[in-house]
Amino acid sequence: MLSVMVSVFWSQGVAAASLPDFTELVEENSSAVVNIATTSAPKSGSQRFKGFDGTPFDQEQFEQLPEFFQDFFRGPQSPFGGGPGKSQPRRSMGSGFIVSRDGYVLTNNHVVEGADEIIVRLNDRRELPAKLVGTDPRSDMAVLKIEDGDDLPVVRIGRSRDLKVGEWVFAIGSPFGFDYTVTAGIVSALGRSLPTENYVPFIQTDVAINPGNSGGPLFNLDGDVIGINSQIYTRSGGFMGVSFAIPIDDAMNVFRQIRDNGTVARGWLGVLIQEVNRDLAESFGLKRPRGALVAEVMEGSPAQQAGLQSGDIVLAYDG
């Protein structure tokens, strides 16, 4: 009996010893992770207010009403949709990280989209205004610049192309506004494409990501940033074990173009492609499903000039 208990405790100790310890990595990197708070002005109140007959009022017409009626239509008891004065500024929150000592910050486009004011809060509780340098909605990337940034802490940039499925990774962010929350997991898959996004070969992980984590860094066990947490797959609105991050190699390419040029330029082939499944492979005489089927070639595109045709299957490129 004693020998069995010793064996159990020994195996548990070995298992615990084999798990990564994130404490030093978190201490080293938290100072360069930021919370991003945005404020957006309310939309114009015109067409929001409805009179007794259902006819919309604009702002000027609303202000011509007696004050008693204005107060009534603005109030929560109003059955007419509320007046123009009822609108409140929209506020949102996300995460980001500093990539240069003079204050460049990377985050997601959807974190700052439509923002009129951006405030970056650092680990030492400083709150600094930031300006939007540029965005790339296709990759869901945004570049900010902390105003009066000087000798700020920065993350160390890694190489996402060196990632392997199964390796440990961890995230630091502000889910639901809980600043500097750390979650960990493994790389579940590489090169994922999503139905709504074909420009990014996402890193899939099982790291817990929730609203507020967007734009925050994904680290490897060397403490290098290898991704930007961007999306989750969910049926509940919360984390369900499937998270997606933008590879840092792609993100840094976008960052450099926005910083240097203000815009992002991409190559264009001019084709629509689809995956080759078993049925398609059999119909084209392939021994196994592989390659990409050219479903359509756009008129005047580089692909058309190169001789690609609908129905071609691309098996290799660049030699």
Is position 297 within any domain? yes
- Looking at the fold, whether 223 and 286 belong to one and the same domain comes out as no
Compute φ and ψ for 237, nearest 5 degrees. 95, -10
Regarding beta strands 224-232 and 156-157, do their DSSP bridges make them parallel or antiparallel, or are they unpaired?
parallel
pLDDT digits (tens, 9 = 90+) for 276-317: 888 888 888 888 888 888 888 888 888 888 888 888 888 888
Please state, in angstroms and rounded to a whole number, the distance separating the CA atoms of residues 284 and 276. 10
The 10s digit of each residue's pLDDT in 89-105 is: 678 889 999 999 999 99
User: For residue 288, is it within any domain?
Assistant: yes
Active-site option among 92, 136, 139, 140: 140
108 closest CA partner among 246, 207, 209: 246
- Residue 6 tokens, joined: 């010793």
Query: Which residue from 206, 195, 211 is spatially nearest to 244, judged by alpha carbons?
Result: 206
Token pair in block for residue 181: 């929350």
Residue 64: predicted pLDDT: 61
**Out of 174, 214, 230, 243, which one is annotated catalytic?**
214
Q: What is the pLDDT of residues 182-197, one digit of tens each?
A: 999 999 999 998 876 6
- Beta bridge partner(s), residue 231: 244
Do 202 and 96 lie in a common domain?
no
pLDDT for res 66: 63
pLDDT of residue 234: 82
pLDDT for position 279: 85
Range of the domain at 279: 271-314
Within 10 Å of residue 101's Cβ, how many Cβ atoms?
13
112 plus 160 within the same structural domain = no
Q: Same domain, yes or no, for 57 and 110?
A: no
Residue 8 has a pLDDT of: 55
Kindly state whether residue 196 falls inside one of the protein's structural domains. yes
* Catalytic position from the list 31, 46, 110, 301: 110
Answer yes or no: do 104 and 172 share one domain.
no
Domain match, 164 and 244 both: yes
State how many domains the chain has. Answer: 4
Query: For residue 144, what are its two tokens?
Result: 């900010």
164/123 same-domain check: no
In terms of phi and psi (left: phi > 0; alpha: psi -120 to 50; beta: otherwise), the region of 122 is beta
User: pLDDT of the chain along its 319 residues, tens only?
Assistant: 555 555 555 555 555 557 899 999 999 999 999 999 998 877 654 445 454 444 555 556 556 666 655 555 555 544 444 444 555 667 888 999 999 999 999 999 999 999 999 999 999 999 999 999 999 999 999 999 998 878 899 999 999 999 999 999 999 999 998 999 999 999 999 999 887 666 799 999 999 999 999 999 999 999 999 999 999 888 877 788 999 999 999 999 999 999 999 888 887 788 888 888 888 888 888 888 888 888 888 888 888 888 888 888 888 887 7
Catalytic residue flag (residue 140): yes
Residue/partner pairs of 271-277 with CB below 8 Å, 24 or more apart: 271/295, 271/296, 271/297, 271/298, 271/301, 271/303, 271/308, 272/296, 272/298, 273/314, 276/313
Are 298 and 223 in a shared domain?
no
User: Three-class SS string for the chain?
Assistant: CHHHHHHHHHHHHHHHHHCCCCHHHHHHHHHHEEEEEEEECCCCCCCCEECCCCCEECHHHHHCCCHHHHHHHHCCCCCCCCCHHHCCCEEEEEEEEECCCCCEEEEEHHHHCCCCEEEEECCCCCEEEEEEEEEECCCCEEEEEECCCCCCCCCEECCHHHCCCCCEEEEEECHHHCCCEEEEEEEEEEEEEECCEEEEEEEEECCCCCCCCCCCEEEECCCEEEEEEEEECCCCCCCCCCEEEEEHHHHHHHHHHHHHHCCCCCCCCCEEEEECCHHHHHHCCCCCCCCEEEEEECCCCHHHHHCCCCCCEECCCCC
